[in-house]
Amino acid sequence: MSLNLPAGVQVNAPLHPRFDQILSHDALALVAKLHRAFEGRRQELLKARVARQARIDAGELPDFLPETKPIREGDWKIAPLPKALERRRTEITGPVEAKMIINAYNSGADSYMTDFEDSNSPNWYNQIQGQVNLFDAIRRKLSFTNEVGKEYRLNDTIATLQIRPRGWHLDEKHVLVDGQRVSGGIFDFGLVFFHNAKEQVAAGAGPFFYLPKMESHLEARLWNDLFVMAQNECGIPQGTIKATVLVETILATFEMEEILYELREHSAGLNAGRWDYIFSCIKKFKKNKEFCLANRAAITMEVPFMRSYALQLVKICHKRGAPAMGGMSALIPIKNDPVANEKALAGIRHDKTRDANDGFDGGWVAHPGLVPIAHEEFVKVLGDKPNQWQKQRDEVFTAKDFLNFQPEQPITELGVRNNINVGIHYLGSWLAGNGCVPIHNLMEDAATAEIARSQVWQWVVSPKGILDDGRKVTADMVRGFIPEELAKVKATVTAQGEDTATYDQAAKIFEEMSLSADYPEFLTLPLYEAMD
C-alpha cells in the first residue's frame, strides 16, 4: 500500500487497511491548503497564550475586554440553526472507536459527540481508524464484531452526529506540510470534512462540530475563517458548518459573547465543559498564593465559581439565540451493587434536573445506560419542546463571581491518594491506546489526569496545601504514596484481565508531572511525543 501525496506533504507512519482511502491525494491537499493558510496564525495565537499566562503569573487577573464592549452591547444573534440541531436534550460522548460509535448512535440520545480529542488516545492507528469508522457510520455501513463473536450494527434511529477535532495546542506529528507538523485540529477536521460533508448535507444532518480548549475569541475567529475556506474548497454553501464551542477554560468565560459573535454564521452554541474548566482554573492561577482548591470531589457545579460560569453561559447563549449545553455527568451504572448504582443514578438525576431548571437545552452523559434518565429529567422541564432557547436569565455577573474560588477545604489524604490513583490508572490506559476509561465508577478522559496531577502539584507548592489533619502536602509525601497507589492500580487492572505493562511508566510520568519545578502546560504534549 502506498500513498499518492500532494507536493510538500509527508506521511511518516504505517498504513493499515483503508488508510489510503482516508489519506487520499485530494483530502491531504485540502489539509495542506488549510495548513498553509492558517498555521502562521495558529502559532501566533499559541504564543499569545504563553504571554497571557506570564501576565497572570505576575498577578494580572482576567476581566471582560474593553475593546470588545460594542460586541457585548450590540443587538445581534447567531444564524438560524438547522432542524437537526434544534433538539439536543441528551448528548452522549465517546471516542471514535467502532463499538462506541455504534452504541452511541443506537443509545436513544438526541445527539452524539464523537471525539478525536480528550476521550481518544491519539496514536496514529486510533486517529486514522477513527476516520474510517466515521466514514462508514455516516453511510450507515459500520459494524463491529467483538472477541466472542457478538456483532454490533446501527439501528434505524440514530443520534445527530457532532465531531470534536483536537484543540489548537495539539500537532499531528506523523504528517508534515512543507516540513512543518500539521495542526491536529486542522488534520482531523480537514479529513472528516472532505470525505463526509456532502454526504451529511444530503442527509440533512451535518457537518456539525464541537471545538475544544479555546482561550479567546481570536481563536474562534481562526476556526471561522478555516470553515469559510473549507466550504469554498469543497463547494458547500457558507454557513453549512455548525460548531458548538466547549467553554472549558476560564479565560473563555470572559469572552463567551465574542466567541459566539466570531462564529455567528457557523455557531451551534456553547457547552459548559466542567472537568477541563477546573483544570484550567488550577493551571491559570497556579502561582497565585491565594488560590487553592479542595479535593476534586468537592468541586461540584454548585460551588460559586462553577455556578456563576454555568449561569452566565445560559444567559449569553439564549440572549444570542444559541443553544446552551450542560456539561458531562461522568457517573456510570454500577453492576452488582444496587445501592451504589442507585446513588449514582440519583447523582445523574440531580445534575440534569439542575441544568434543565437553570435553562440549559440539554446535557452530556458518558454511558448509553444513562440516556433515559437524562432525557426524563429534561422532559420534566421542557415537556414536548425541543429546547428552551426562549428562557432568558437576568443575573449580572462580574469578574469577582467567576474568580470566587471556593471551597479551599477539605484537602484530605484520601483526596491526594485518589488523584494519584486515578492519574496513574488513566495514564496507563492512555499509553496502551485507550483514552476513555471507567475508574472508580466514573467515566474518565484526559481532563481527569490533568486535574489529578495539577491538584497534587498545587497542593505541594501552595502554602494552603494542608490536609485536614494538619499535615502539609509535600513532595516526599506524594513520592511515598505513588508506589502504594500503583500497586492498587495494578491489582485492579489485573483483576479486570488487562495487561499492566504501561503502568510503571505511567507512575513515573505522574511523579514527574506532579512534582516538577516548572508546571507542564499540558500533560498530553510530552506523552504524545513518546507514543507511536
Q: Which CATH number fits domain 409-530: 3.30.230.10, 1.20.1220.12, 1.10.220.150, 3.40.50.150?
A: 1.20.1220.12
pLDDT at 433 over 90: no
User: What does the pLDDT read at residue 338?
Assistant: 87
C-alpha 51/C-alpha 421 separation (Å) is 33
Asked whether residue 444 carries a pLDDT value surpassing 80, the answer given is no
Give yes or no for residue 404 having a pLDDT over 90. yes
So where are the chain's domains? 9-324+335-400, 409-530
448 pLDDT more than 90:
no
Q: Is 223 in a helix, a strand, or coil?
A: helix
Q: Which helix (H) or strand (E) holds 31?
A: helix 25-57
Whether 523 has a pLDDT exceeding 80, the answer reads no
Q: Please report the pLDDT score of residue 447 as a whole number.
A: 80
pLDDT at 470: 97
Rounded Cα gap, residues 236 and 232, in angstroms: 6
pLDDT of residue 274: 85
The C-alpha atoms of residue 126 and residue 122 are separated, in whole angstroms, by 6
Q: What pLDDT score was predicted for residue 202?
A: 95
- Pair 19, 132: CB distance under 8 Å: yes
Query: What is the predicted pLDDT for the residue at 379?
Result: 96
Rg of the Cα atoms in the chain:
22
For 315-324, what is each residue's pLDDT tens digit?
A: 999 999 999 9
Predicted local confidence at residue 61, as pLDDT: 97
Cα–Cα distance, 116 to 92 (Å, whole number): 14
Whole-structure pTM value:
0.94
357: burial class by Cβ within 10 Å (0-12, 13-18, 19+)? middle
Residue 482 is predicted with a pLDDT of 97
pLDDT in tens, 156-204: 878 999 999 999 999 999 999 999 999 999 999 999 999 999 999 999 9
Which residue bears the cell 484537602?
A: 411
Q: Is the pLDDT of residue 84 over 90?
A: yes
Average pLDDT over the chain, rounded to an integer:
93
For residues 211-233, give the mean pLDDT. Answer: 98
The CATH number of the domain covering residues in 9-324+335-400 = 3.20.20.360
Is pLDDT of 436 > 80? no
Residue 350, Cβ neighbours under 10 Å: how many? 15
Q: Quick one: pLDDT at residue 150? A: 87
pLDDT digits (tens, 9 = 90+) for 249-301: 999 999 999 999 999 999 999 999 888 899 999 999 999 999 999 999 999 99
457-493 confidence digits (pLDDT tens) = 999 999 999 999 999 999 999 999 999 999 999 999 9
**Can you tell me the mean pLDDT for 47-73?**
97
Q: Out of 77-91, 108-122, 364-378, 442-456, which region has the weakest mean confidence (pLDDT)?
A: 442-456
Question: Given its phi and psi angles, is residue 442 left (phi above 0), alpha (psi -120 to 50 degrees) or beta?
Answer: beta
Q: Which residues fall within 8 angstroms of residue 503, CB to CB, at 6 or more apart?
A: 424, 425, 428, 486, 489, 490, 493
Among 228, 210, 213, residue whose Cα is nearest residue 167 = 213
Higher-pLDDT residue of 29 and 145 is 29
Q: What is the mean pLDDT of residues 88-99?
A: 94
Judge whether residue 332 has pLDDT over 80: no
pLDDT of 511 > 80? The answer is yes
Query: What's the rounded Cα separation, in Å, for the pair 297 and 437?
Result: 18
- The tens digit of pLDDT for each residue in 244-259 reads 999 999 999 999 999 9
Examine the pLDDT at 366 and tell me if it is beyond 90. Answer: no
DSSP 407-435: ------HHHHHHHHHHHHHHHHHHHTT--
Question: Which pLDDT value is given to residue 118?
Answer: 84
Asked whether the predicted pLDDT for residue 215 surpasses 80, the reply is yes
Q: How confident is the model at residue 522 (pLDDT cuts 50, 70, 90)?
A: confident
pLDDT of residue 331: 75
Which residue has cell 464551542?
245
Please identify every residue annotated as catalytic. 164, 445
